[in-house]
Amino acid sequence: MSAPNPRPTTTGGAPLRVALLGCGVVGTEVVRLLTTQAAELASRVGAPLELVGVAVRDVSAPRDAVVDRALLTTDAEALVDRADVVVEVMGGIEPARGLLLRALRGGASVVTANKALLAQDGPTLYAAADAAGVDLYFEAAVAGAIPIVRPVRESLVGDRVRRVLGIVNGTTNYVLDRMATDGLDLAAAVAEAQALGYAEADPTADVEGHDAAAKAAILASLAFHTRVRLDDVDRTGITGLTAQDVAWAARTGHVLKLLAVAEQVDGPDGGALDVHVRPALVPAGHPLAGVRGAFNAVFVEAEAAGELMFYGRGAGGAPTSSAVLGDVVSVARHRVLGGRGPVESSYAELPVQDPGLARSRFQLRLEVDDRPGVLAQVASELAERGISIEAVQQTVEPDGAAGAAVLVLTTHTATAAALHATVEALRDLDAVRDVVSVLSVLRVEEP
């Protein structure tokens, strides 16, 4: 028989009071798990979890039957004040920020799925949690159900992460997948993602890359022990992509994905961070290319561990509620047993690199005059700026303009600044009718 636990309990087995802020797609599923798994959760925590209230905007709005209407309140502050654990799934900056600060300063532990808030003002929340000696957990904020915050913050903390590559937005992955496989247009695919509960309240946050940028900032902060904020992330969404871009990706052996990338680049004093979100051409054989629908995946390259991939459902009420409940159990256990979990560290304080200095391979698609000497002119503009060409493909499209050819150039690694200067110069050439697209190509590390 094992010895009795010598650590003091803070509750003596009394129920822990849980307050839920927000009862939408995720909140409803959190209520379902708290209700249907109550007995098992109590065993895992060492004390019952009692849902003491659910803060909503409108108590009379229609709700899933699993939500006990007697728990609904519009007085979120009063609810926060009588909770041991506050679960925030309302989203947005205010009033979520004020409520979570109130909770932390009052000594409650906090679980949140709110990546927008963490990426904008995480350090204020972390400081409040530190000052009060309580937990602030947020596994659901990055890649939904996939355990990635905990692995990066805890499991890999003894290693040195070099690069994190993520498909971290389910909506945009769903949209790109539907465009590639079913020929849907962007608006129709976004409407489907909204109906399935993947999209943010304002889906612009998804398609313009803000949601992925928030997750990139959180992952970069954890992986590189540096405070990276939303504004530090160089961001491009998917609204500029066309059906042709998606089709050409396939023709050149790639799949178009919206990637969130955080990488430590070499340089003096430990180097700098390149943190960006942008559509990228992923070679069809890379594990990230096979991530379909609303699934997410985060590919981590670490010095000792090598390559790791975390894959699963990154959006949707039920998957996200799994991550929320995992955190609720962790913080509740800490309250029962005493102590708190690992906290953020930002000792490295690496600067974030100027986006113009970021290096990538690129693919340019041009519409050019189909006549002798044009390829040489184009190649000379690249050479003039030190950009080396890896591959060239030229075709005359059956439905193309008269006398025009499509030229697809893939470059070796170049800086974004050199590439953009080249694109401007190409646009000025008489023989170049249009620079139709400029896309990054994922750099694949040799094993």
Ligand X SMILES: N[C@@H](CC=O)C(=O)O
Ligand Y SMILES: NC(=O)C1=CN([C@@H]2O[C@H](COP(=O)(O)OP(=O)(O)OC[C@H]3O[C@@H](n4cnc5c(N)ncnc54)[C@H](O)[C@@H]3O)[C@@H](O)[C@H]2O)C=CC1
Q: CA dist 416 to 142, 276, 355, Å?
A: 27, 12, 7
Find tokens 């560290």 and name the residue.
Answer: 345
Please check if 27 is assigned to a binding site.
Answer: yes
Please check if 390 is assigned to a binding site.
Answer: no
Is residue 312 within 8 A of residue 322, CB to CB? The reply is no
Task: Report if residue 89 touches ligand Y, rule: CB under 6 A.
Answer: yes
Residue from the set 28, 112, 114, 171 that interacts with ligand X by CB under 6 A: 171
Judged by CB under 5 A, the stretch of 57-65, 118-126, 135-143, 219-227 that binds Na ion is 135-143
**Six token digits for residue 155:** 């499991």
Q: Which of 163, 210, 215, 334 is catalytic?
A: 215
Is residue 255 within 8 A of residue 192, CB to CB? The reply is no
Task: Report if residue 317 touches ligand X, rule: CB under 6 A.
Answer: no
Q: Residue 416: what are its φ and ψ, rounded to 5°?
A: -60, -35
Please check if 419 is assigned to a binding site.
Answer: no
| The dihedral formed by the CA atoms of 173, 179, 180 and 183, expressed in degrees to the nearest 10 | 160
In this complex, which beta carbon is closest to ligand X, that of residue 56 or of residue 199? 199
24 touches which of ligand X, Na ion, ligand Y, none (CB within 5 to 8 A by kind)? ligand Y
Nearest distance in Å: CB 23, ligand Y: 5
**Six token digits for residue 142:** 């990055």
Task: Report if residue 312 touches ligand Y, rule: CB under 6 A.
Answer: no
Q: What's at 38, amino acid-wise?
A: A
Task: Report if residue 206 touches ligand X, rule: CB under 6 A.
Answer: yes
Nearest distance in Å: CB 199, ligand X: 5
Residue from the set 22, 144, 237, 312 that interacts with ligand X by CB under 6 A: 144
Please check if 314 is assigned to a binding site.
Answer: no
Is residue 257 flagged as an active site residue? Answer: no
In this complex, which beta carbon is closest to ligand X, that of residue 144 or of residue 209? 144
Task: Report if residue 113 touches ligand Y, rule: CB under 6 A.
Answer: yes
Nearest distance in Å: CB 174, Na ion: 17
Task: Report if residue 410 touches ligand X, rule: CB under 6 A.
Answer: no
Judged by CB under 6 A, the stretch of 158-166, 193-201, 301-309, 350-358 that binds ligand Y is 193-201
Task: Report if residue 315 touches ligand X, rule: CB under 6 A.
Answer: yes
Please check if 22 is assigned to a binding site.
Answer: yes
169 touches which of ligand X, Na ion, ligand Y, none (CB within 5 to 8 A by kind)? ligand X
Binding mask 320-359 for ligand Y (x = CB under 6 A): x---------------------------------------
Please check if 236 is assigned to a binding site.
Answer: no
Residues comprising the chain, all counted = 447
Per-residue 3-state assignment (H helix, E strand, C coil) for the chain: CCCCCCCCCCCCCCCEEEEEECCCHHHHHHHHHHHHCHHHHHHHHCCCEEEEEEECCCCCCCCCCCCCHHHEECCHHHHHHCCCEEEECCCCCCCHHHHHHHHHHCCCEEEECCHHHHHHHHHHHHHHHHHHCCCEECHHHCCCCCCCHHHHHHHCCCCCEEEEEEECCHHHHHHHHHHHHHCCCHHHHHHHHHHCCCCCCCCHHHHCCHHHHHHHHHHHHHHHCCCCCHHHCEECCCCCCCHHHHHHHHHCCEEEEEEEEEEEECCHHHCEEEEEEEEEEEECCCHHHHCCCCEEEEEEEECCCEEEEEEEECCCHHHHHHHHHHHHHHHHHHHHHCCCCCCCCCCCCCCECCHHHCEEEEEEEEEEECCCCHHHHHHHHHHHCCCCEEEEEEECCCCCCCCEEEEEEEECCEEHHHHHHHHHHHHCCCCEEEEEEEEEECCCCCC
Task: Report if residue 368 touches Na ion, rule: CB under 5 A.
Answer: no
Task: Report if residue 208 touches ligand X, rule: CB under 6 A.
Answer: no
Dist. CA 220–CA 191, nearest whole Å: 30
In this complex, which beta carbon is closest to Na ion, that of residue 186 or of residue 216? 216
Judged by CB under 6 A, the stretch of 81-89, 100-108, 195-203, 378-386 that binds ligand X is 195-203
437 touches which of ligand Y, ligand X, Na ion, none (CB within 5 to 8 A by kind)? none
Task: Report if residue 86 touches ligand Y, rule: CB under 6 A.
Answer: no
Nearest distance in Å: CB 206, ligand Y: 10
Q: Find the binding residues for ligand Y in span 366-425 (CB under 6 A).
A: none
Task: Report if residue 327 touches Na ion, rule: CB under 5 A.
Answer: no
Task: Report if residue 139 touches Na ion, rule: CB under 5 A.
Answer: yes
List residues near ligand X by CB under 6 A. Answer: 144, 169-171, 198-200, 206, 211, 314-315
- Give the residue ranges of the annotated binding site: 21-28, 115, 200
List residues near Na ion by CB under 5 A. Answer: 139, 142-143, 146, 148, 323
- Give the residue ranges of the annotated binding site for NADP(+): 21-28
- Give the residue ranges of the annotated binding site for NADPH: 115
Catalytic residues: 215
List residues near ligand Y by CB under 6 A. Answer: 22-27, 55-57, 76, 89-91, 95, 113-115, 140, 144, 197-198, 200-201, 315-316, 320
